[in-house]
Amino acid sequence: MLTAWQICAMGIWLSVMNNSRRLWLPKSLVQFTVQTLVRRKWQSILILLGVALGVAVMVSIDLANASASRAFDLSTEVITGKATHQIIPSGSGIRDELYARLRRSGTVDLAAPIVSTYVSIPTIKGQAYQLLGIDPFVDRMFRDYWLAESLGGQAFFDLLTRPGSVMVSLNLAERLGLKVGGELVIEAAGREQTVWIAGILEPKDRLAERSLDGILLADIATAQEISGKVGYLDRIDLILPEENPSIAKIIQSQLPPELRLETVEARQGSVRQMSEAFQLNLSALSLLALVVGLFLIYNTMTFSVVQRRDLFGAMRCLGVTRRELFFLVTGEALIIGVIGSGLGILLGVLLGRNTVGMVSQTINDLYFTTTVQAVGIPIESLIKGGMAGVLATLGAAIPPAIEAASIEPRLALSRSSLERKADSVIRVLAAGGILLILSGYSVFQIPGNNLVFGFGGTLLVVVGIAMLSPLLMKFLLIGLRPLMEKVFGFLGKMAPGNLLNSISRTSVAVSALMVAVAVTIGVSLMIDSFRFTVTQWLEQTLQSDVYISVPGFNANSSLLPIDPSVIEQLEKRDDIERIDTLRATRVVSQVGEVNLSATFNPQIGAERIFREAIGGADQITLAMQQGGVIISEPLANRANLKVGDQMVFHTPKGVQSFEIAGIFYDYASSEGSMLMWRDVYLQWWQDDAVTAIGLRLKEGINPDEAARQIQEKLQTDQNLLVRANASLRKDVMEVFDRTFAITAALRILATLVAVIGILSTLSLLQIEKQRETGILKALGVTGKELWRLVMLETGLMGLVAGLLAAPTGFVLAIILIEVINLRSFGWTILLFVNPLAFLLALVLALVAALVAGVLPAIKMNRLSAAEAIRYE
C-alpha cells in the first residue's frame, strides 16, 4: 500500500524530473491502476472471476441460442431457397393432380413441388436427415446449392429414372465412405429402406456445405415412394414478384379450399416465434449471473475507493483533479472489465460446448427439427458478451468513481461518519426499492403478452427487493443481536455489531447472495410446480395402458401414419379391451397452422382437465360428436380464443367453422393443439390414417408384458414404438427434465458468482479490520475465538441472505409462473410449494457464506498482533 508521503514524494520527484506543470500523465495513471490491481492480487482475481463467470454464462447461452437459430436458418434456407411463398395443405397433403392442374391452368409458373420427410441413418444416432424430394426440371430456379458440377449428367439421369436413388452431401459421403453406385440403409416412416447413391452434392461454399449436410436429395417420385406419401405433395414453393402483391391474392382465389398460400417469412416466423419465447427465457436467465456479478463489481470497487480515501485525499492535495480520480477508478474497472470479459468469452466458448447441445436438443424436442449440426461459433455472440461485460463493469464502477471524485483534498472522513452517511443512504435505497417493486407490479398489469415487459417487470421487482434488503438486513441484525449474545456470548454480540458498522459494504454482498439464492428458490419452485403439474396432467391424459406410434424426431406426437394392418392385427388379440386411435395432422385455420388430432375416444371429455368448457365431460364429448372442437390452453392464450368462439378451418370440402366446446390444459406443446371427433374429421378431410394407437388391456394384464409381446408379434415393416403407459410417462418426463437441465445449470452458476461476491467482500472486510483484529489479538483474543468471530459474521450474512431470499424466491416463483410462463408458453402451472426448497436455499446461503469466510479467517489468524497493528 502506497502511503500518502510516498505519493507526495513521488509527485515531487516526477514534477522535478519532467519539469511538468501537470503531475498525473495518462501513462502514469494507467501504471498506477495496473499496480493497484497487481498489488491487490486476490481481490483482483476474485473480481475478475466474477466478471468472467457472468460473461461466460451469457456468452454460452447466447452461443447456444445463436447456434440454434443458425441451425434453423441453414436447415430452412437450403430447403426454401429462393421461394417467396408456399402453398401448404390443411390436412394430409396436396394431391398430385392439384399441382398439375395449377401448372396447366397457368396460375403458377415459378412453382416447385416438394415432398420432404425426416429420415434417420441407423449407423448415425441422434441426427435427423431430411429426404428432400424435388422436381429437378423446375427446382434449379429455386435452390442453387447443387448447381454446377455436383449434379453431373449421369447423376441427374439416374436420379430421374432409377427408383430409390438419392444424392448425399460430400460430408456424409466421406463420413460413411459412400460412393456413387453404392447403397445406404435409411429409416423412413418407420421403415428400413435401402437407397442407391446416384451422386454426391458438392457444395459451392462452406455455408452451403453445412446446409447440405443433413440433406438427402431425391427425385419427387422416389421421395413419395420412400416416405409413403404416394399421390401427395407436402408443399409447393413459389417465387412471386415482389412488385405485384395482388398475384398472391389471385393465386389464393384459384386454390381449392384446403390449400393456403403463405409467405415463406410468415411460415418460418411462426415456427421461430414458438422457440423464441424459450430462447428469450434462457437469455434472461443467462443475464442473471451478470447481474449478480454487477453487485460484486460494485461492492469491490466501492471497497477499494473507501480503503483509499486517505490516498485519494493526498492525491487531491497534490493537484490531481476530480476528473482524474474519476477516470482512475473507472480505468481500473475498465481493465478488470476487459480482462474479465476476455476470460469470460473463452470460458463461455468452453461452456458453450455443452449449452449448444442442450439447447439444440430442447429446441429439437419441442419446436422444430434441424438437420444442421455444426454451425461454427457466431462471432456476434462473443462480441455481445464482451461488450456487456465491459459496459456492466464500467457501469457498476461509476458510483464508486463518483465517490472517489468527491473526496475533498483533506484528511478523509472517519469511518463512523461514513457509516452514519450510509445509514441515511440505506433508507433512501429502501424507499427507492419499494418504488421499483411497485412499478414492477404495475408493469405486469399492462395488458398483452409482451415478454419484454414481463422480464422488465421481474427485473424491477428483483432489483427493488435487493435495494430494500440493506434496511431489512439492518432490522434483522438488530433483532438477532440479543439472541446471538445469548447463544454465543461476547462474540455473538460483536459479530452483528461489526456487520452493522460496515453495512454499506456487507449489505451489497448480502444482497447479491440474496438475489442469487432467491432466484434458485424461485426457479426451483417453478420447476417443481411445473413438474407436478405435468405429472398430474399425464395422470389424467394418459389413460390407455399401451401406446403405439411411429418414431419421429420430435418429442411431440408423430404425424407419420401407422401401417393400417397393425390395427387389424391388434383387433385379433384377446388381451385388449379397447383400441383408441388418434389421427394427428396439421391444418390451416384462421390463426395459422395448428396441430389437429382426431379421436373417437368417448371418454375424451373426462380425460382432459378443462380450464373452461360448455359443460361437464359428457356434454363436451357430445358437443364434439356434433362438430365442436376442444383446444389446448396455449393455443387459446396465443390466439386469444374462448369457449364459444369459432375455429375456421380450410378443409378439402371448403372453409368450415367449428365451435370451441372447451379449453383444456395441455403441456405437450406451447404451440398448442386441438381435438376433433374422428367422424367429424373424416367427413371434412376424408383421411382415415392413424398416427397413434392407445390400447386398454383387459383386467389383470401386465402393460409392460403386453407392450413387449405386441412389439414382438406385430407383422409390419414399420418399426413402431410400442410403449406401456409408465414408460411413455417416463419418456415424457425425461424430455421435461432435459428441457430444464440448462435452467438448473444456470442457477448454480449464478449462485457461484454470488459466493465469489461474498468471498471477495469478506476478505476485503477482514483486511480492513486488520488493525482491529491486531488489537483484539493483543488484548488476548485467541485464534479460535477469532475464527469463531469470522464464522459468526459470515454465517450471519448467509443467514440474513437466506432469510430474505425465502420470501423473495416465493415472489419470483409466482412471477415466473403467473407472468413469464403464461406469457412465454401460454400454460397454467399449478403452484406447488415444496418447503424443502426454502430450507435448501437457506442451507445453501449459509454454506456459501461460511465457505467464503474460511480464507479470510485463515489469513487473519496468520497475522501477528504486532504486524496487524503496524498497519499504519
Query: Which residues are near another protein by CB under 8 A?
Result: 96-97, 99-101, 103-106, 109, 135-140, 144, 146-148, 151-157, 160-161, 163, 219-222, 224-225, 230-231
Element containing residue 742 per DSSP (H, E): helix 725-768
Q: Which is nearer to another protein, 157 or 532 (CB)?
A: 157
Q: How far apart are alpha carbons 668 and 690 in whole angstroms?
A: 19
Provide, rounded to whole angstroms, the least separation between the CB of residue 645 and another protein. 40
Q: Which is nearer to another protein, 93 or 826 (CB)?
A: 93
Strand 94-95 and strand 232-233: pairing? antiparallel
Provide, rounded to whole angstroms, the least separation between the CB of residue 262 and another protein. 23
Q: Which is nearer to another protein, 77 or 158 (CB)?
A: 158
Provide, rounded to whole angstroms, the least separation between the CB of residue 275 and another protein. 33
Q: Which is nearer to another protein, 234 or 403 (CB)?
A: 234
* 308 Cβ contact partners less than 8 Å away, ≥ 6 residues apart: 404
Provide, rounded to whole angstroms, the least separation between the CB of residue 82 and another protein. 13
SS3 834: coil
SS3 353: helix
CB-based burial, 100-132: b 16+ in 10 Å, e otherwise: eebeeeebbebbbbbbbbbbbbeeeeeebbbbb
Q: Which is nearer to another protein, 225 or 563 (CB)?
A: 225
CB-based burial, 515-539: b 16+ in 10 Å, e otherwise: bbbbbbbbbbbbbbbbbbbbeebbe
Q: Rounded to a whole number, what is the distance in angstroms from the first to the last CA of the chain? A: 10
Provide, rounded to whole angstroms, the least separation between the CB of residue 718 and another protein. 16
Q: Which is nearer to another protein, 163 or 564 (CB)?
A: 163
Provide, rounded to whole angstroms, the least separation between the CB of residue 224 and another protein. 4
Provide, rounded to whole angstroms, the least separation between the CB of residue 203 and another protein. 14
* 712 Cβ contact partners less than 8 Å away, ≥ 6 residues apart: none
Q: What is the phi/psi pair of residue 721, to 5°?
A: -90, 115
Provide, rounded to whole angstroms, the least separation between the CB of residue 461 and another protein. 58
DSSP codes of every residue in 138-173: HHTTT--TT-GGGS-HHHHHHHHHSTTEEEEEHHHH
Q: How far apart are alpha carbons 331 and 158 in whole angstroms?
A: 68
Q: How far apart are alpha carbons 506 and 496 in whole angstroms?
A: 11
Share of the chain residues as helix, strand and coil, in percent rounded to the nearest 5? 60, 15, 20
Q: How far apart are alpha carbons 719 and 138 in whole angstroms?
A: 34
Q: Which residues pair with 589 in a beta bridge?
A: 592, 649
Q: Which is nearer to another protein, 232 or 547 (CB)?
A: 232
Q: How far apart are alpha carbons 299 and 572 in whole angstroms?
A: 74
Q: Which is nearer to another protein, 96 or 187 (CB)?
A: 96
Provide, rounded to whole angstroms, the least separation between the CB of residue 147 and another protein. 6
Q: Which is nearer to another protein, 152 or 652 (CB)?
A: 152
Report the alpha-carbon angle 45-51-53, nearest 5.
95
Are 21 and 356 contacting, i.e. CB atoms less than 8 angstroms apart?
no
Are 741 and 838 contacting, i.e. CB atoms less than 8 angstroms apart?
no
Q: Which is nearer to another protein, 136 or 399 (CB)?
A: 136
Q: Which is nearer to another protein, 100 or 866 (CB)?
A: 100
DSSP codes of every residue in 608-649: S-EEEESSSHHHHHHHHHTT-EEEEHHHHHHHT--TT-EEEE
Cell of 765: 472486510
Q: How far apart are alpha carbons 341 and 785 in whole angstroms?
A: 40
Provide, rounded to whole angstroms, the least separation between the CB of residue 251 and another protein. 14
Provide, rounded to whole angstroms, the least separation between the CB of residue 256 and another protein. 16
Q: How far apart are alpha carbons 732 and 723 in whole angstroms?
A: 12
Cell of 189: 416412416
Eight-class DSSP state of 54:
H
Q: Which is nearer to another protein, 134 or 643 (CB)?
A: 134
Q: Which is nearer to another protein, 103 or 175 (CB)?
A: 103
Q: How far apart are alpha carbons 358 and 440 in whole angstroms?
A: 32
Closest residue by Cα to residue 75 from 262, 169, 215, 264: 215
Q: Which is nearer to another protein, 158 or 607 (CB)?
A: 158
Q: Which is nearer to another protein, 235 or 308 (CB)?
A: 235
Residue entry with cell 471477495: 760
Provide, rounded to whole angstroms, the least separation between the CB of residue 180 and another protein. 12
Q: How far apart are alpha carbons 308 and 122 in whole angstroms?
A: 67
Provide, rounded to whole angstroms, the least separation between the CB of residue 109 and another protein. 7
Cell of 33: 491502476
Provide, rounded to whole angstroms, the least separation between the CB of residue 81 and another protein. 12
Cell of 775: 488489537
Provide, rounded to whole angstroms, the least separation between the CB of residue 220 and another protein. 5
Provide, rounded to whole angstroms, the least separation between the CB of residue 172 and another protein. 20
Provide, rounded to whole angstroms, the least separation between the CB of residue 665 and another protein. 42
Provide, rounded to whole angstroms, the least separation between the CB of residue 89 and another protein. 16
Q: How far apart are alpha carbons 636 and 44 in whole angstroms?
A: 53
Element containing residue 479 per DSSP (H, E): helix 451-501
Cell of 859: 489469513
Q: What is the phi/psi pair of residue 235, to 5°?
A: -165, 170
Measured from the Cβ of residue 712, the count of other Cβ atoms closer than 10 Å reads 8
Q: Which is nearer to another protein, 222 or 300 (CB)?
A: 222
Measured from the Cβ of residue 16, the count of other Cβ atoms closer than 10 Å reads 9
Q: Which is nearer to another protein, 144 or 867 (CB)?
A: 144
Q: Which is nearer to another protein, 204 or 738 (CB)?
A: 204
